[in-house]
Amino acid sequence: MVKIADLLKASTTVSFEFFPPRSDEEATTLAATLKDLELLHPSFVSVTYRGGAESRQRTFDLVSMIQNETTLTPMAHLICVAHTRSELISILEEYRSIGVENLMALGGDPPSDPDAPRGELRYATELVALAREVGGFSIGVAAHPAGHPRSANLEEDRDHLAAKLEAADFAVTQFFFSLEEYTGLVDDLERRGVTKPVLPGIMPVTSLSSVPRMATMGSPVPEWAVQRLVDADAAGGPAAVRAEGIALASELCTGLMGVGAPGLHFYTLNRSSATREIAHALGLSGA
């Protein structure tokens, strides 16, 4: 098994993110996506996790399948919300027992149900420390170029991120759309003495209907980018919007590589076509 920290030391990485399927139809779509994107020879792939016993099992099953049935290197997401310390240790040991050595340590959103268990750990930093105790993992954490939604201000967010990243091996950002958002984040961390790798997260906007959703997820599409999409729609409809969204993402990736980003991390939404088109535009391996 290969640790992501070692991959980042060796070369620029390309990685993809998936979520566990909830139905047979979603499972069929994901199976095709994995087959398509495996041909691009990504450095690793990550699998999300929402918490709770059912989601925990779906994540474990998908990570285990990727580990045992593909050539891909998986990174398992884990959140500390709603878990006891002993449950988290059990999950970590279970991953380690099947050879998974890469972990994304997340705090997680507070449960919407007031009667749901809160868990013994509150912050990702605590989960990183616990994973270090169990041992054997290369550990990533999340970064938010625009600041975490629950942070009081950007300076506080950067302070927390710097402390979190000091304990971990690397960070992966929430998706964003302007190069300056990424360089600003990296510069802020460097001013705090933190120079560990920060992988930029990329999600192409392939329809105008997805623009409002991006904002609710904490990463609004800039007005200049929205205007390009609107102009494309006027000129050629949905197909032109999709092509313009791919072009915007490709331009962002080119800029990121130009400023020395350690890799590119693509949020796939369990589909391969947009990611493959961006990879082709960038001349990535196997595209």
- CB-CB neighbours of 286 under 10 Å: 13
Tokens 């102009």 — which residue? 231
Alpha-carbon distance 233 to 242, whole Å?
9
Which residue has tokens 């779509």? 29
Are 159 and 185 spatial neighbours (Cβ–Cβ below 8 Å)? no
Q: Which of 55, 106, 99 is nearest to 77 (CA)?
A: 106
For residues 177 and 182, give the distance between their C-alpha atoms in angstroms, rounded to a whole number.
Answer: 9
CA-nearest of 70, 73, 48 to 59 is: 48
- Does the CA dihedral 149-152-153-159 come out positive or negative? negative
**Which pair of tokens denotes residue 37?**
């994107």
- Which residues are catalytically annotated? 17
**CA pair distance 141, 169, nearest whole angstrom:** 8
Integer Cα distance of 100 and 241 in angstroms? 39
78 backbone dihedrals φ, ψ, rounded to 5° = -145, 135
